[in-house]
Amino acid sequence: MTEILFYHLQRQPLEKVLPSLVERSLERSWRVAIQAASEERLQALDDGLWTYSDDSFLPHGTDREADPAGLPVVLTLAETNPNAASIRFLVEGSPLPADAESYARICVLFEGTDQEALLLARSQWKLAKEAGHTLAYWQQDDDGRWQKKA
């Protein structure tokens, strides 16, 4: 079964957390899909992955590119897997994909100060557990480091 990691964002925003997680995925030679729930978030992530660091960027594109299959990182609003990604990041409440078992890992990133996001993450945890996936829950400590809580 797929490993599904839940990241409870409390100390840093998505725009700070996501690039480092994507970098680690690419270091493992994994292709990455990032699913957003709105066009505005997709555009913000697209812009942010080019400019998140003064000395680095993450090569990526959207599923609207001419050949998204050739991209190491693809941003999408759809539940499809346009670049045969091994890992999928779900942001702003994007649903668990119907083909979750086709990924090595899925990461659900949710805002810890948003009650609606917390409730949705709990619901997704329950669904993933019932489906038999391996689950882990990560929360940021006071220094912004990730601590495995479950």
Q: List, for residues 4-18, the tens digit of each pLDDT value.
A: 999 999 888 899 999
pTM over 0.85: yes
Which range of residues forms the domain containing residue 74?
3-148
Number of domains forming the structure of the chain: 1
Q: List, for residues 90-148, the tens digit of each pLDDT value.
A: 999 999 999 999 999 999 999 988 999 999 999 999 999 999 999 999 998 888 788 89
pLDDT beyond 90 at 44: yes
pLDDT beyond 80 at 69: yes
Report which secondary-structure segment, H or E, holds 87: strand 87-90
pLDDT for the residue numbered 42 = 95
The domain that contains 98 carries what CATH number?
A: 3.40.50.10110
Q: Which residues sit opposite 35 in a β-bridge?
A: 76, 90
**pLDDT cut 70: percent of the chain above it:** 100
Q: Which pair of structure tokens corresponds to residue 114?
A: 């948003």
